[in-house]
């Protein structure tokens, strides 16, 4: 048994190494349902050993996940608070992930990106395939692609784009192994992302990162992403940009492209009470909820259905998008402020 385990771990490490050093973004294949549809949940900013209602959000995710028969879960970053993981065998991984998301419907693949709080720990530990020995669901890389028959999801490592983490880190230490020299890292990532989006023939294109491009919450817009990533998304017909970082739920449309900006960062600590009132009344803001919750995505060939839920599993806002006319119709246009 020991030799089998060693061989399996060795193969897994070689596999991860090979995809990480290739000239393109690592790519994973995800099956769809028999009818060609796909459904998944999105949660961000969660890992707190169940505290700040993380366990309650997880319970509702399990219930909704069962109803929707989800195919996988997406984590939009800040997976472990306050300072990521310390090592691959850090008990915080099980205490904040394996022991919290226990519902049968959540025993699917989790595709995760890093957030700024994850970069404050041992990044290599969180990226390590060895974590799959503890929980087979876990898959976290800096940037990668998940391909299905109807959608491609492009996961982007957004933390290295943000200047203040380098110029004004305050008391925090960031693990920049694998990122320095920064300019080289960002240039290559942008080139790989643009190339992948241009070559994609998927019916739907979804880009996922931790930091918001558009937000009226505590952190607001991320100017570095507006300048460097947004033009690439607009030029390549991206349908959704999904993020965490702001501990809220929100939907903002674009006046210059069909992109819908969706925030799902309410996995645990929320209720910051900070909002940009000047932007609240603009037409682009379709929904804002300063509280805990998560989001579901259901995709078919011609239609996407997005639903935001609060910590009680109640529907707060829905969005239906037609792939043919690229027009959004909101079934629950609301700004929820509590």
For residue 63, how far is the Cα from the chain centroid? 20
Catalytic residue among 117, 211, 219, 251: 219
The whole-angstrom separation of Cα 291 and Cα 310 is: 7
93 in Cβ contact with 58 (< 8 Å): no
Dihedral angle of Cα 116, 272, 316, 61, to the nearest 10 degrees:
50
Strand order in the sheet with 72-75: 138-140, 109-112, 72-75, 38-43, 293-299, 303-310, 315-322, 328-330
Is 310 annotated as belonging to a binding site? no
- Residue pair 75/44 in contact (Cβ under 8 Å)? The answer is yes
For residue 116, say whether it is annotated as part of any ligand binding site. yes
13 CB contacts (<8 Å, ≥6 apart)? 129, 130
Q: What residue has token string 């996988």?
A: 72
Q: Look up 219 and say whether it is catalytic.
A: yes
Give the three-class secondary structure for 65.
Answer: helix
Neighbouring residues of 228: CB distance < 8 A, sequence distance ≥ 6: 161, 186, 190
- Rounded CA-CA distance 240/55 in Å is 28
45 assigned ligand-binding residue: yes
Distance of CA 248 to the CA centre of its chain: 14
Considering only CA atoms, which of 39, 96, 94 is closest in space to residue 69? 39
Is 81 part of any known ligand binding site?
Answer: yes
Between CA 29 and CA 148 the distance in angstroms is 6
Q: Give the residue ranges of the annotated binding site.
A: 45, 78, 81, 116, 210, 245, 247
Positions annotated as catalytic residues are: 219
Q: Give the residue ranges of the annotated binding site for Fe cation.
A: 45, 78, 81, 116, 210, 245, 247
């Amino acid at each position: 048994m020991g030799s089998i385990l060693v061989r399996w771990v060795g193969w897994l490490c070689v596999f991860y190494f090979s995809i990480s050093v290739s000239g393109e973004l690592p790519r994973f294949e995800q099956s769809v349902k028999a009818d060609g549809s796909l459904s998944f949940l999105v949660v961000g900013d969660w890992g707190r050993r169940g505290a700040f209602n993380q366990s309650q959000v997880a319970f509702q995710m399990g219930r909704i996940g069962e109803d929707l028969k989800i195919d996988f879960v997406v984590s939009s970053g800040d997976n472990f608070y306050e300072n990521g993981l310390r090592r691959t065998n850090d008990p915080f991984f099980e205490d904040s992930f394996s022991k919290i998301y226990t519902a049968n419907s959540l025993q699917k693949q989790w595709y995760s990106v890093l957030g700024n709080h994850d970069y404050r720990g041992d990044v290599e530990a969180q990226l390590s395939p060895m974590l799959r020995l503890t929980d087979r669901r876990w898959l976290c890389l800096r940037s990668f692609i998940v391909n299905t028959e109807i959608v491609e999801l492009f996961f982007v490592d957004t933390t290295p784009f943000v200047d203040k983490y380098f110029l004004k880190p305050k008391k925090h230490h960031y693990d920049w192994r694998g990122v320095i020299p920064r300019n080289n890292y960002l240039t290559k990532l942008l080139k790989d992302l643009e190339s992948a989006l241009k070559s994609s023939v998927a019916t739907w294109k979804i880009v996922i990162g931790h930091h918001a491009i558009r937000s009226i919450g505590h952190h607001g817009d991320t100017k570095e992403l507006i300048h460097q990533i947004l033009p690439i998304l607009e030029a390549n017909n991206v349908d959704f940009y999904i993020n965490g970082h702001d501990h809220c739920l929100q939907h903002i449309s674009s006046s210059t492209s069909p992109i819908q900006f969706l925030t799902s960062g309410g996995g645990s600590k929320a209720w910051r009470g900070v909002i940009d009132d000047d932007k609240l009344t603009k037409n682009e803001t379709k929904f804002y909820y300063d509280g805990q919750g998560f989001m579901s995505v259901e995709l078919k060939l011609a239609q996407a259905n997005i639903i935001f839920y609060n910590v009680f599993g109640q529907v707060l806002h829905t969005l239906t998008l037609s792939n043919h006319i690229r027009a959004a119709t909101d079934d629950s246009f609301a700004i929820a402020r509590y």
